Every structure is written in C-alpha cells, then in structure tokens.
Amino acid sequence: GAVVSQHPSWVICKSGTSVKIECRSLDFQATTMFWYRQFPKQSLMLMATSNEGSKATYEQGVEKDKFLINHASLTLSTLTVTSAHPEDSSFYICSADRQDYGYTFGSGTRLTVV
C-alpha cells in the first residue's frame, strides 16, 4: 500500500525561529501533496496544495510567506514555518493522493513554539 513518511514527529522551537517539516512518498510518486493543520479535537484544515515543480496553492487565510512549501521532487514536499510564534503551535499533517488507494496521510508533526 501507499506509504507517506513525515518527519519530524514532534519539534519544539523558540519563538522567531524557523522549522522545516518533510513529507516523503516512499513507494509511489506524488505529483501533488497536501498540507493540513489540526487543532485539538477538531478536524483537519487544508492549508495548501503542493505541486511538484510549481508554486503551491494556498487556502484562503493561510499566509504563504509564513508557511513556505517546496515540492522539488515527485517524492518530497517540505513545509517551513518561518518566524514561528506560539500561535503557530499545532499538529501539521501531509498527505498524497494515490489514485487507487485514496489519500494517504503522514504520521503528523506536533509543533510547539515556546
């Protein structure tokens, strides 16, 4: 089955620093990957759609300069939270669409900004 690997699983950073989260498709090529944010006891909120070789498409209200997305290859997309602040603390999850398997999600990254 389709596997999506996400790293790190958790990270603590100081306010004002940047954090990079990686999302890799291990056994398939993903032209498109998706980044979600999830607050406690809430469902997933789509932040942006990452397209290989082109700019990401951001959902309304998501700051593209704060959440930098790079999709440099068919198996890797990265999300960089720039100048992180405590309000950016959340659970970030990536996913990819494997046509025959539906959407496969990574294990998520818990970001805590102190």
Partner 1 sequence: QKEVEQDPGPLSVPEGAIVSLNCTYSNSAFQYFMWYRQYSRKGPELLMYTYSSGNKEDGRFTAQVDKSSKYISLFIRDSQPSDSATYLCAIKPGAGSYQLTFGKGTKLSVIP
* Strand, coil or helix: 88: helix
Residue 58 in the binding site for partner 1 (CB under 8 A):
no
Residue 99 in the binding site for partner 1 (CB under 8 A):
yes
Question: If binding means CB under 8 A, how many residues of this protein chain bind partner 1?
Answer: 23
Q: Are 111 and 84 in contact (CB under 8 A)?
A: yes
Residue 106 in the binding site for partner 1 (CB under 8 A):
yes
Of 44, 73, 81, 112, the residue at the interface with partner 1 (CB under 8 A) is 44
Q: What is the number of other CB atoms lying within 10 angstroms of the CB of residue 39?
A: 11
Residue 29 in the binding site for partner 1 (CB under 8 A):
no
Of 6, 77, 78, 90, the residue at the interface with partner 1 (CB under 8 A) is 6
Q: What is the DSSP string of 60-79?
A: TT--TTTEEEEEEETTEEEE
CB proximity list for 28: less than 8 A, separation 6 or greater: 2, 96, 98
Give the binding site for partner 1 (CB under 8 A).
4, 6, 32, 34, 42-44, 46, 49, 91, 93, 95, 97, 99, 101-108, 110
